[in-house]
Amino acid sequence: MPLITKPLTLDDLPSPPPGKTGWPWTEQSSQLLKQITDGSDYPRISIVTPNYNYGQFLEETMRSVLLQGYPNLEYIIIDGGSTDNSVEIIEKYAQWLAHYVSEKDGGQSDAINKGFQKATGKIYAWLNSDDVFCQNTLLEVGQFWSDNPNCHFLTGDGYFFIAKEEGVETLEYYVKAENYSFQDLLDYHHDKYLAQPSVFFSQDVLHKLHGLNISLSYAMDLDFWLRIRMSYSLDYIPKCFSKMRHHNDAKTWKNNVIAMAEVRNVIQKYQKCLKPIARLRNKLSLRWFYAVVLLKRGIFEYSNGNRLAAIHWLIKSVFFCPTIIFYASTLKLIIKLMLPQTVMKLLLIRQ
C-alpha cells in the first residue's frame, strides 16, 4: 500500500459529510511552510491510529492526518474488529493508507505496537481515533527534525475539549508543555504532563524501548515517556499540535479511578530512581492526589443520588490519605451525607 509522497488537498479526498465545515472538513494545512535548507527530503513521519468502535470520530481524525500537507507521510490504521461504521470509513480512505487491518487485538497498547511494527518512518507518533492533529503540525515537526538531526523526543502543546453531544464541544483546558526533566514527568499529578497526541519520537527510540507496555491500558503513554526521558532529552515547540476529546465513551473518562490507579502505579515504579527526599515528597503528594480522585468519585455518586456508593468512596478516600478529612470538599460531602435528604432538598430549593 502507498506512502504519501506529495501533499494531499481537499480535492484529493472524498467530500465531507453534509454539515461538516472547518478543519479538517473544508480547510486544509499549508502546502509546505518552506523547503528544507540543505535541499534534502522531509523526514518520513509514521502515524498510527488505533481504533475500536469510534466511528463517530474516526473520519475527522483521519482527515486531520491526511490533510497535513506533508510530503513524506506513512499512515497506518489498526482497528480492533469494530462493529460500528469504522471499517466503512477506513475503506473510504484506504487508497491513502500505508497499511490497515480490522481484527481482534490485545487492547489499545497492543494495537499501537502492531502499527509501529509496520512503520518505516524516521519519526513516530500515534493519534487516537477520537483526537485530531492541528493544522500544519507535521510540517512543524518535520522541519524541526531536519534542523535538529539529533532530536529523538519532541512535544508541543494541546487542547482538551469536552464533547457534550454531537457537534457541541467546549474547551476544557490548554495543556502547555515544557522541556520536562525525568523528575518533572514524575510530577504528573501536579499537572506536569505531555499531551499524548502532541508527542513525537524517533525510530531509534522505538526500537531501543520495544514500544508500549501492553500490560497497561491507561498510563502506557506516561510509562513510555518516562522510559524515553531516562535516556534522551526532550525538545519542545511552543505551538499547539493536537486537540484531545473528553467524552462519555472515552475509556479514561469512564474509568477514571482505575485509570488514575494505573498512573499511580507507574509513578511509584519509577520514583525509585529519585533521591530519598524527592522520593518521599513525591510519595506523599501522590497519596493525596489519589485520595482526591476517590473523593471526586464519591461526590459524583452523591450528585447522582447514590448515597451508599458516595459513602463507600468517601471512606476509601479517607482511609487512603487520612489528612483529606480536613479538605473543604470532604467536609462538604460529609455534611451532605449526615443531613436527612428532606433537609438537603429544602436547602437546594432555597438556593
Residue at 90 is within a domain:
yes
The helix or strand, by DSSP H or E, that contains position 162, with its residue range, turns out to be strand 153-165
Q: Residues 54, 132: contact at Cβ < 8 Å?
A: no
Domain, as residue range, for 343:
274-350
**For 186-214, what is each residue's pLDDT tens digit?**
999 888 999 999 999 999 999 999 999 99
Query: What CATH number has the domain bearing residue 121?
Result: 3.90.550.10
Residue at 60 is within a domain:
yes
Looking at the fold, whether 334 and 234 belong to one and the same domain comes out as no
Looking at the fold, whether 178 and 316 belong to one and the same domain comes out as no
Q: Which of 206, 228, 256 is the last residue of a domain?
A: 256
For the cut 90, the answer to whether the pLDDT of residue 107 exceeds it is: yes
The predicted structure's pLDDT at residue 252: 47
For the cut 90, the answer to whether the pLDDT of residue 2 exceeds it is: no
Residue with cell 529519585: 274
Rg from Cα positions in the chain: 22
Q: Exposed, middle or buried, 256 (CB in 10 Å: 0-12/13-18/19+)?
A: middle
**For 303-349, what is each residue's pLDDT tens digit?**
888 999 999 999 999 999 999 999 999 999 998 898 766 545 544 44
Whole-angstrom CA distances from 164 to 152, 248, 249 are: 37, 8, 11
- Taking the whole predicted model, whether its pTM rises above 0.85 is answered as yes
The predicted structure's pLDDT at residue 347: 47
Q: How confident is the model at residue 39 (pLDDT cuts 50, 70, 90)?
A: low
**For 270-300, what is each residue's pLDDT tens digit?**
998 888 888 898 899 999 999 999 999 999 8
Say how far residue 224 (Cα) sits from the centre of its chain: 13
The predicted structure's pLDDT at residue 247: 59
Whole-angstrom CA distances from 50 to 79, 273, 325 are: 6, 32, 41
Ranking 18-22, 162-166, 209-213 by mean pLDDT, the lowest is 162-166
Q: Give the closest residue to 230 by CA, choosing from 262, 208, 215.
A: 208
The predicted structure's pLDDT at residue 253: 44
Residue at 127 is within a domain:
yes
Neighbours of 53 (CB within 10 A): 16
How many domains is the chain built from? 2
For the cut 80, the answer to whether the pLDDT of residue 168 exceeds it is: no
Residue at 19 is within a domain:
no
Looking at the fold, whether 207 and 284 belong to one and the same domain comes out as no
Looking at the fold, whether 87 and 131 belong to one and the same domain comes out as yes
Looking at the fold, whether 86 and 125 belong to one and the same domain comes out as yes
For the cut 60, the answer to whether the pLDDT of residue 149 exceeds it is: yes
**For 238-265, what is each residue's pLDDT tens digit?**
999 999 987 555 444 447 899 999 999 9
The predicted structure's pLDDT at residue 32: 64
Question: What does the pLDDT average to over 62-90?
Answer: 97
Phi, psi for residue 273 in degrees, rounded to 5: -80, -10
Looking at the fold, whether 340 and 208 belong to one and the same domain comes out as no
For the cut 70, the answer to whether the pLDDT of residue 144 exceeds it is: yes
Looking at the fold, whether 251 and 293 belong to one and the same domain comes out as no
Q: At what angle do helices 220-229 and 256-270 cross, to 10 degrees?
A: 20
Residue at 201 is within a domain:
yes
Percent of all residues in the chain with a pLDDT value above 70, rounded to a whole number = 90
For the cut 60, the answer to whether the pLDDT of residue 174 exceeds it is: yes
Looking at the fold, whether 227 and 278 belong to one and the same domain comes out as no
The residues, ordered by sequence, that sit 6+ positions from 130 with a Cβ below 8 Å of its Cβ are 54, 57, 61, 244, 245, 247, 250
One-letter amino acid identity for 282?
A: N
